[in-house]
Amino acid sequence: MDVDEIINKPSRHPYQCIASVTKGVQSAPNVYLLAACGPRLHSDTGKDEPNGNDEGERPAKKQKTGSSAPSSPNIIKLTVSPDQQHAVAVTDDKVIHVFSVGLDGALQELSERAMPKRPCAIQVLPDNATIICGDKFGDVYSLSLLPKEPSETADATAGARQPQSEQPQPTEQEKPAFKPSATNLTVHTKRNLKALQAQQNQKNFSARKEPLKFEHSLLLGHVSMLTDAVFATRVVEGKERGFIITADRDEHIRISRGPPQSHVIEGFCLGHKEFVSKLCVIPKTDLLVSGGGDEELFVWNWPEFKLLRKFDIAGAMFDAIRGAKDAGKSAVEAAENAKELQPASEHGGKAISMHRINISGLWTAPFANGKGHTETLVLVASERMPALFAVPVNRLQLKKRTELTDCVLAHPPLDVVSIGNSVLVSLDCRSDDGGPLIHVYKLKQGPEAKGSILFDDDEEMMHKLSCLEKVQAEGKFDDKKLDDLLYGVASLRKRKGEDVPRVPHGDDEAEEQAMGVEGYGQMPKGEADI
Amino acid sequence: MAGPPKKRQKRDDKPDTQMPQKKFYRQRAHANPFSDHDLVYPTCPEEMDWSQHYPAFTATIPAGVPKDDPITTTDWDDHYLHPRITQDVEVADIGCGFGGLLFALAPRMPQTLLLGLEIRTAVTEFVQEKAKALRIQQDIASREGKEQDLVPGQYQNLSCLRANTMKFLPNLFQRGQLSKIFLCFPDPHFKARKHKARIVSAALNSEYAFVLRPGGKVYTITDVEDLHVWMVDRFEGHAGFERVGEEEVEGDVCVGVMRGETEEGKKVERNGGRKFVAVFRRVADPDWV
């Protein structure tokens, strides 16, 4: 590759998160696509008048929210309330943004609240009033969708990341006297006693971390790093019960009761041998699909904590790699790039590159069965792999050898959302000028084996979304930073022989910083390390 | 920090019948519970082979009976073929250290299986070696007919496992399996930013509640008053627990053992420190609302 090529290499920032909002009456809904591109959130009409009230190719609306300054925090999570009235976005500065969605799809920001740790999962509960938010540190909080007091909004962000200068420095008399927890009865060694003495003589202590200034409650927590959290409901004895299902890096899937009894753990779905990164509850069933670093996808009956079967996702992935050449040069390149470098320490030999499963997405989507009726399937993505894997929901439980169908894409998929029967797939085609950023498919049952799925292009929908492609012309970005934003799953894998947390989750300063603990310097440092 | 090879050599030199010496097993008193630690743990409690830990309690399957029942087994690939054990572990000493509590408690409840859980490798090894030596000594005493040397249970009912219980408690125990959990002299983690590393927290209490049966108890003891207050706050603030009244606490044999027989308890005694005890009872889960 010559210099010219490097300079002129096309680069488009992909949409890292997409979601849909349905507005209007049920008979004539307007569907808007929300798409997050770096720090920006776009709202575009996906389709109009599904019932034949054709007004031609009406130009899609486009709105921009949030600033596009280069330093703006990127959006990492995006969700919509079940009643379609609000959208919630999380940015990588740990702030939860709540937007109202107008009838025309327009977004208006209502509140910003900074969480103590980086959120990794967010959902609006069916009551349309509560947000549950899981963070990487392992805790799951609930907070009201709309902050109760109007003043809360303004204060909320300041609460957790208050710059020291803005805070009036309390005079010495005002500050409660600091008393070390240790005494000369609890510490004995020479060094510790010296540290204790230093503490007792110390006069100035940095302020304790400000508590969050908005209403929130801790529902449950893991000591392990949390990777996903979903709220599920189930009707038992005629009454609906809520559950929170959480997954962590230490192979656990935990099922707790929903609020207000979230302190009760009902059970665990144990069987994964590697980290669990994604959960997908299948609506209207008791099925849960989970995936992570294992070579298989797990299907559970979650109310009974019972493993029903596993799907060989690694096998499907190798099929996809073999099939990549039919999907063009970019797919072959992406499949090659998906290899992970295994350090020599892992297997005793020399370092090698190989493909590994790192489940980065599980979604449900509609497809047309053999009779043309709409059914549901599960779509699976493994990080950086330019493919989607599909299996119909009604075959998840079958013990027979139903396999996953693989569909090779031109680029790695980042997010999936369904609008009507169209399945929108956001692709990381930063280096490809021609390909669409959002590829739209219509899925249907394949002719060969039962359970096989065909991915047909949905040209009509792609045309409607073409304005989203134009938005992309502007802006420069750093490839490495974009990788960090889009691809974090592979780093969850544990490395043998390393006694340090691979992903920051410990207590060293560097880890804390990487974890995003703000104002390390502001934390109480008064107490000696005894 | 691995001990010098000499230390390890000394450990191996001792005959089986002789008790291990603590000085060869000393290890820094802190471990980061968030690290991966290259731990070995079962995927789920059913996978755990307890018969290695409590060989005297191994269930013998009559000759000619196949190990697996073809009709009742599920047809996914994990079959748990471990020799079954006649009863489950019921008492867990989390952070058992050198096992003082376990060795004192085992003869007092010989029909119950006790398990020490310790994150430090060398210390775990010490407890295992000590249990092994004691069992052999008891065997010899029993064979030689030295009745006065025999203790109830002959230390067959205690064992120790290297584990990070803050992460892997549900991998070891099923719902409601335990009747007692001991948290003796836990690492106080003085710094406020390290409080999540404490062995007692609102979130972890839910896991203790999960593995404890209703009516089961958590015993805590510490010489750090702030930590005592913290632990009491966290358990009293958790809907799954209630504090046990003073009279019942003082009447509990386990509390006496915990005060007097734990290694740390003795050390605090020597240094003239204070000991703060609190016991909490697991209450039944509330009805669904």
C-alpha A383/C-alpha A380 separation (Å) is 10
Q: Is B250 annotated as a binding residue?
A: no
pLDDT in tens, A210-260: 677 888 999 999 999 999 999 999 999 999 999 999 999 999 999 999 999
Q: Is B262 annotated as a binding residue?
A: yes
Look up the CATH architecture of domain A14-47+61-159+209-268: 7 Propeller (2.130)
Q: Quick check: A180 and A193 in contact, CB under 8 A?
A: no
pLDDT band at A208 (very low <50, low <70, confident <90, very high): low
3-state secondary structure of A498: coil
pLDDT in tens, A60-115: 333 444 444 446 899 999 999 999 999 999 999 999 999 999 988 889 999 999 99
Q: Please state, as a whole number, how many other Cβ atoms lie within 10 Å of the Cβ of residue A492.
A: 20
User: Which comes out higher in pLDDT, residue A56 or A420?
Assistant: A420
Q: What percent of chain B has pLDDT over 70?
A: 92
C-alpha A229/C-alpha A123 separation (Å) is 8
Helix locations, A8-67, DSSP H: none
Q: How many CA atoms lie within 13 A of A114 on its CB side?
A: 20
Residue of B38, B187, B233, B287 with catalytic role:
B187
C-alpha A407/C-alpha A320 separation (Å) is 7
Three-state DSSP string of A187-246: CCCHHHHHHHHHHHHCCCCCCCCCCCCCCCEEEEECCCCEEEEEEEEEEECCEEEEEEEE
Averaged over B280-286, what is the pLDDT? 97
Q: Quick check: A94 and A108 in contact, CB under 8 A?
A: no
pLDDT of residue A222: 96
Query: What letter would DSSP give residue B195?
Result: G
Please give the residue of chain A at the shortest CA–CA distance from B194. Answer: A507
pLDDT of residue A61: 37
C-alpha A102/C-alpha A86 separation (Å) is 9
A506 in contact with B, Cβ within 8 Å: yes
pLDDT in tens, B198-239: 999 999 999 999 999 999 999 999 999 999 999 999 999 999
Q: Where are the domains of chain A?
A: 14-47+61-159+209-268
pLDDT in tens, A122-145: 999 999 999 999 999 999 999 999
pLDDT band at A294 (very low <50, low <70, confident <90, very high): very high
Name the A residues in 481-500 with CB < 8 Å from any B CB. Answer: 494-500
Query: What letter would DSSP give residue B266?
Result: H
Dihedral angle at the C-alpha atoms of B253, B255, B259, B264, nearest 10 degrees?
120
B222 Cα distance to chain centroid: 17
C-alpha A309/C-alpha A301 separation (Å) is 10
Question: Position of tokens 């053992």?
Answer: B257
pLDDT band at A342 (very low <50, low <70, confident <90, very high): confident
Look at residue A119 and tell me whether its pLDDT is greater than 60. yes
The CATH number that domain B82-282 falls under is 3.40.50.150
C-alpha A349/C-alpha A342 separation (Å) is 10
C-alpha A19/C-alpha A35 separation (Å) is 6
A236 in contact with B, Cβ within 8 Å: yes
C-alpha A342/C-alpha A352 separation (Å) is 5
Mutation to test the A interface, candidates B44, B175, B228, most A Cβ within 10 Å: B44
Q: Quick check: A44 and A437 in contact, CB under 8 A?
A: no
pLDDT band at B71 (very low <50, low <70, confident <90, very high): low
pLDDT of residue A292: 97
β-sheet bridge partners, residue B117: B94, B161
pLDDT of residue A64: 44
In the numeric block, which tokens belong to residue A18? 């997409």
pLDDT band at B67 (very low <50, low <70, confident <90, very high): low
C-alpha A125/C-alpha A258 separation (Å) is 10
β-sheet bridge partners, residue A235: A240
pLDDT band at A176 (very low <50, low <70, confident <90, very high): low
**Which residue in A415, A411, A482 sits closest to A38, CA to CA?**
A482
In the numeric block, which tokens belong to residue A28? 């004539």
pLDDT of residue B77: 45
**Beta-carbon separation of A501 and B166 below 8 A:** no
Q: Quick check: B196 and B108 in contact, CB under 8 A?
A: no
β-sheet bridge partners, residue B137: none
Averaged over A467-491, what is the pLDDT? 79
B162 in contact with A, Cβ within 8 Å: no
Q: Quick check: B9 and A483 in contact, CB under 8 A?
A: no
Q: Quick check: A152 and B162 in contact, CB under 8 A?
A: no
Q: Where are the domains of chain B?
A: 82-282
B191 in contact with A, Cβ within 8 Å: yes
ipTM of the complex in this document: 0.90
Q: Residue A242, by phi and psi: left (phi above 0), alpha (psi -120 to 50) or beta?
A: beta
**Full DSSP string of A400-422:** S----EEEE-SS-EEEEEEETTE
Alpha-carbon separation of residue A144 from A76, A80, A91, A120 (angstroms): 20, 14, 18, 18
In the numeric block, which tokens belong to residue A255? 């099922």
Residue among A139, A185, A265 whose CB faces B272 most closely: A185
Please give the residue of chain B at the shortest CA–CA distance from A311. Answer: B76
Amino acid at A354: M
Question: Position of tokens 């849909």?
Answer: A20
**Cβ pairs A/B, distance under 8 A:** 132
β-pair type (A422-427, A438-445): antiparallel
3-state secondary structure of A29: coil
In the numeric block, which tokens belong to residue B25? 């097993």
A479 Cα distance to chain centroid: 20
Q: Is B247 annotated as a binding residue?
A: no
Q: Quick check: A437 and A469 in contact, CB under 8 A?
A: yes
B285 given a catalytic annotation: no
Look at residue A50 and tell me whether its pLDDT is greater than 60. no
pLDDT in tens, A156-169: 443 343 333 334 44
pLDDT in tens, B1-54: 555 567 777 787 778 888 888 888 888 777 888 888 888 999 999 889 899 999
User: Which comes out higher in pLDDT, residue A51 or A211?
Assistant: A211
Q: Which of A53-62, A473-482, B70-79 has the highest mean pLDDT?
A: A473-482
